[in-house]
Amino acid sequence: MAVTDLTACEIRKAIAERRLSAVEATEGCLRAIGRLDPKIKAFLSTDPDGGRRRAAEIDRRLAAGENVGLLAGIPVAVKDNMCTADGQPTTCASRILGGWRAPYDAHVVERLKAEGAVIVGKTNLDEFAMGSSTENSAYGATRNPWDLGRVPGGSSGGSAAAVAARLVPIALGSDTGGSIRQPAALCGVVGMKPTYGRVSRYGLVAFASSLDQIGPFGRTVADAALLLRATAGHDPRDSTSVREPVPDYLEGLEEPVRPLRIGVPREFFSAGIDPEVESVVREALAVYERLGAALVPITLPHSTDYSIATYYIVATSEASSNLARYDGVHYGYRSSDHTDMIDMYMRSRAQGFGDEVKRRIMLGTYALSSGYYDAYYKKALAVRRLIRRDFEQAFAKVDCIMGPTSPTPAFHVGERTADPLAMYLSDVYTVSANLAAIAGISIPCGFTAGGLPIGLQIITDVFTEGRLLRIARMYERETGWTKRAPPIVEDAA
């Protein structure tokens, strides 16, 4: 069996038992990247030499009997909006940060290194994490490993595609409105958004600071649990990081949650959902029923009807503020063709930012402007509280909420780029969890007749990631969806 056929937990066990070395695991992933990534374009940069050095050091330490960490020798990819001080660029897939190298590591990168992971590269994304297809990257679109003519989702499409194509067993992404869960669904992998504050955002290049959260991708629920355990925890450098104990998410993972009450929002199965997606998700719910769970009809009136509008006011307003720092003065791209300082600001931003980023900056600036603040931003914050209340009322009755992750399977490259609203609606089922700051996961639950993955979204209340992972594992144990590989992987074998 090839190294790339192993899950992260299997690689961890094989290395611990000395049946596999960290160098062998790293070389296997680097070969897969070299063979398949020219077609998929999941990576913006790789660090083969640094990865090999790191792997060799881990093998040396293991041979000496040292405790190297939870992720000893496991190859990992990191979304390219997280700072790395190892010489790899941190570009956020934007021209305005082209070639920029961070002077420090993000907290999660520190944690990966402390736990013995081997970071092999930085993955592609929608520019500054603004998008749902990874087509907004200034360095080219990532392709879906299941169908190279389709998108992998976004904005963490590079990380999702890398895990799906078995280029790496696990990867980190960031989720502002579904940017982990939606690409996980479209690529047929596990992707989790932890509770806001569970994982430090220190070193994550900000898009919308009250919504952004870093989380894991893996081929299995156990892989996601392992990576979350390694990266979660309080960090005093992030004022929104919460002092909440971090459980061992792998311990008790095989214990089903019983009794289990599953809330099924009627709004998740309304107009706009693809018939195949609805059918497959309802079949997944039936699996839980056979396991003894009770399906409880619920309603989330504000969450579905108003979440997209609320999100695109709150997120764009915060983006407008966060991206004001890219002015061509301190770092990043500076236009060489300008007449004075104001002209330099304007030209640097106009030339450095892509169309989608400009659109969101303008929307946010408008919502925050004098005369419109009360009508838009202030009202959006009030609706955000109502959305949170929807979930509080639901969780008083049920243990979790389930439904589709995305209303459609992966769509064709270029299909929605000319229609921003259609693109925004790709996240109609995911943005509410960010607005409410709660935890969510997408797990594979089947395929369309054409062989495209479909994801089941499971949502639980704040700081209940352990229970969320156990609920997800209940379904995964009964099915074999996580074992299927994209045709591009099988053809290359």
Name the token pair of 247.
Answer: 């459980």
Catalytic residue (one of 21, 132, 137, 155): 155
Give the sign of the dihedral formed by CA 127, CA 302, CA 407, CA 178. positive
> Among 210, 226, 223, which residue's Cα sits nearest to residue 111?
226
Active site residue 113: no
> 362 and 386 in contact (C-beta within 8 Å)?
no
> Among 230, 175, 160, which residue's Cα sits nearest to residue 443?
160
Name the token pair of 23.
Answer: 């160098």
> Among 308, 348, 349, 333, which residue's Cα sits nearest to residue 432?
308
Name the token pair of 454.
Answer: 């479909």
Name the token pair of 166.
Answer: 């078995």
Active site residue 406: no
DSSP 8-class letter at 375:
I
Specify the residue for token string 């995305």.
406
H/E stretch holding 263 = strand 261-265
Taking the C-alpha atoms of residue 328 and residue 346, their distance in angstroms, rounded to an integer, is: 9
Tell me if residue 160 falls in helix, strand or coil: helix
Phi (first) and psi of residue 199, to 5 degrees = -120, 130
Catalytic residue (one of 94, 132, 137, 179): 179
> 270 and 263 in contact (C-beta within 8 Å)?
no
Catalytic residue (one of 41, 79, 113, 122): 79
Q: What is the dihedral of CA 483, 9, 461, 423, to 10 degrees?
A: -50
H/E stretch holding 83 = none
How many helices and strands in the chain, by DSSP H and E?
17, 11
Tell me if residue 122 falls in helix, strand or coil: strand
- Distance spanning both ends of the chain, measured CA to CA: 10
H/E stretch holding 45 = strand 43-46
Tell me if residue 10 falls in helix, strand or coil: helix
Helix axes 8-16, 221-231, angle to 10 degrees: 70
Total residue count of the chain as it appears in this document: 493
H/E stretch holding 105 = none
Tell me if residue 190 falls in helix, strand or coil: strand
- Residue 293 CB-half CA count within 13 A: 26
> Among 47, 44, 120, which residue's Cα sits nearest to residue 87?
47
Active site residue 358: no
> 354 and 138 in contact (C-beta within 8 Å)?
yes
Enumerate the active-site residues: 79, 155, 179
